[in-house]
Amino acid sequence: MNAAIRAVVRQADALGHETWGIRHGYQGLLDKDWAPMPTRACANILQRGGTVLHTARCPEFLLPNRRAEAAENLRAEGIQGLVVIGGDGSFRAAEALQREHGVPCAGIPGTIDNDLPGTERTLGFDTALNTAVEAIDRIRDTASSHGRLFLVEVMGRSSGMLAVHTALACGAEAVLYPESPDDSYETLVARLYANWLRGKRSSIVVVAEGDGLGSAVAVGDRLRRDHGLDLRVVVLGHIQRGGSPSALDRIWGSRWGAEAVRRLDAGESGFYLGEVAGALALLPLAQVLDPHPSPPGDLSELVGILSR
């Protein structure tokens, strides 16, 4: 996200605009928690994880009267356009601000869940994916040395994108995720047993945090109880959400940040940016109301086929 912030500030400066940084997300709009952000304020942030502007959940923003206040605050301060970096909640808020109050908004996709409609990439996903894969590679050493089953929980409250991509990239034996069409306990047991019969003595199952069967701990307890397995559970948790961003996340953050400003400067608004087939994509903000994309079915199928 810091790559996008830096690009917004510096592209705006190059076009002769002043940028103000709003701290703590929408809460900052309500509290007027903002300040001018000169280009030098962005020194050395490109490689830093998190966001230098901080973030916060702001439930009050769901109330129309609070959004009206935020729009008024922006108008009174003379802020002419808003670049929002976030996931579908942040974009829903931006869509409402623009539709209800005419605040010109531009969205830059930022969520490790990679679950926004119309874009194949969101900032943070590539970094989180690589972090999870690196962690599981390490776990694999113990799994294979001790001949053990590991259940590794990755983030994804309502999305299996991170889980499925992680599973494929680390050669997991199975993946459980919320949108899966055949996510049953029986299918999992049958898969692990078939691998056992093939001579496989260690397995890794990637579990998305929001999977319908329950957490990795719950699934692990059930397997232990039913089959007496000496398995281990690892919850990767917030380790996936931090750290220095990958090169791809930095590059797309930079491209999207600059593009958002160029388009606002040209009088465009009510859009968010994305990536489709390697190219920068432009989407209407209202598209965020579409159903969120599911992990490609062929990828999760491949996890099973390749782990024989």
Ligand X SMILES: Nc1ncnc2c1ncn2[C@@H]1O[C@H](COP(=O)(O)OP(=O)(O)O)[C@@H](O)[C@H]1O
Ligand Y SMILES: O=P(O)(O)OC[C@H]1O[C@](O)(COP(=O)(O)O)[C@@H](O)[C@@H]1O
Judged by beta carbon, residue 241 or residue 263, the one nearer ligand Y is: 241
Of 56 and 276, the one with the shorter C-beta distance to ligand Y is: 56
Binding site for ligand Y (CB under 6 A): 87, 111-113, 124, 155-157, 209, 241
Measured from the CB atom, the residue of 103 and 168 that comes closer to ligand X is 103
Q: Which amino acid is at 82?
A: L
Write down the catalytic residue from 113, 126, 183, 249: 113
Distance of closest approach, residue 8 Cβ to ligand Y, in angstroms: 19
CA pair distance 212, 182, nearest whole angstrom: 11
Closest to ligand X by CB, 49 or 171: 49
Rounded to whole angstroms, how far apart are CA atoms 165 and 185?
Answer: 21
202 touches 148 (CB < 8 A): yes
For ligand X, the binding residue among 11, 98, 111, 254 (CB under 6 A) is 111
Strands 203-208, 174-176: parallel, antiparallel or unpaired by DSSP?
parallel
Torsion of CA 168, 173, 179, 180, to 10 degrees: 120
For the bound state, the minimum distance from the C-beta of residue 87 to ligand Y, rounded and expressed in Å, comes to: 4
Q: Whose Cβ is closer to ligand Y: residue 86's or residue 304's?
A: 86
Residues facing residue 22 across a β-bridge:
34
Closest CA to 107 of 36, 1, 206, 15: 1
3-state SS string over 92-150?
Answer: HHHHHHHHHHCCCEEEEEECCCCCCCCCCCCECHHHHHHHHHHHHHHHHHHHHHHCCEE
In the chain, what is the greatest distance between 2 CA atoms, to the nearest angstrom?
A: 70
CB of 157 to ligand Y, least distance (A): 3
Among residues 113 and 275, whose Cβ is nearest to ligand Y? 113
Q: Which amino acid is at 61?
A: F
84 binds, among ligand X, ligand Y, none (CB under 5 to 8 A by kind): none
Q: Which does 155 bind (CB under 5 to 8 A by kind): ligand Y, ligand X, none?
A: ligand Y
Shortest distance (Å) from residue 3 CB to ligand Y:
15
Residue 97 binding partner per list ligand X, ligand Y, none, with a CB distance cut-off of 5 to 8 Å that depends on partner kind? none
Residue 75 one-letter amino acid: R
The 41-80 site mask, x for binding ligand X (CB under 6 A), equals ----------------xx--xx------------------
- 190 contacts ligand X (rule: CB under 6 A): no
What span, in angstroms and rounded, lies between the C-alpha atoms of 142 and 242? 25
Residue 112 interacts with which of ligand X, ligand Y, none, CB < 5 to 8 Å by class: ligand Y
Q: What is the dihedral of CA 36, 41, 47, 52, to 10 degrees?
A: -40
Q: Give the other-Cβ count within 10 Å of 11's Cβ.
A: 21
Active site residue 226: no
Q: Residue 252 touches which of ligand X, ligand Y, none (CB < 5 to 8 A by kind)? A: none
Residue 155 binds ligand X (CB under 6 A): no
- Among the listed residues 93, 122, 88, 94, the one whose alpha carbon sits nearest the alpha carbon of residue 106: 94
- Selected from 87, 109, 118, 245, the binder of ligand X by CB under 6 A is 87
254 binds, among ligand X, ligand Y, none (CB under 5 to 8 A by kind): none
DSSP string, 270-307: SEEEEEETTEEEEEEGGGGGSPPPPPPHHHHHHHHHHT
Query: What residues numbered 8-47 form the site for ligand X, per CB under 6 A?
Result: 26
The answer to whether 88 contacts ligand X (rule: CB under 6 A) is: yes
The set of catalytic residues is 113
